[in-house]
Amino acid sequence: MLSNIFIFVLVAALLIFFLPMFFMHALWLAGALFWLWMLIDCVKRRFRKDSTKVIWILVIIFASFIGALIYFFFVKMARK
C-alpha cells in the first residue's frame, strides 16, 4: 500500500517537473523550424531587386523569430 502511494507521488512529481520543460522544448523547436522555413523561403524567393533579398535575409537572421514573423506577414502572406 505504501509503495503504491510512493510510486503515485513520484510519478506526479516527475510530471509536474518535466511536463513544462517538454512543452518549452516543443515550442522552441517549433519556433526554430519556423525560422528556418522563412529563411529558406527568403533565399529561394525571387525579389525585384537583389538588395531586397539581402535586407530580408539580414532581418530574419538578426531579428530571429520576430524577423521571421515580420517576413511571414509582410512578404509571404502578401503574395497570396
pTM of the model: 0.77
The closest alpha carbon to 57, from 69, 70, 43, 47, belongs to 43
Query: Which cell numbers in the block locate residue 45?
Result: 524567393
Q: Give the max Cα distance, the chain.
A: 73
End-to-end CA distance of the chain: 63
Q: What is the pLDDT along the chain (80 residues), one digit of tens a residue?
A: 668 888 888 888 888 888 888 899 999 999 999 999 999 999 999 999 999 999 999 999 999 999 999 999 999 888 66
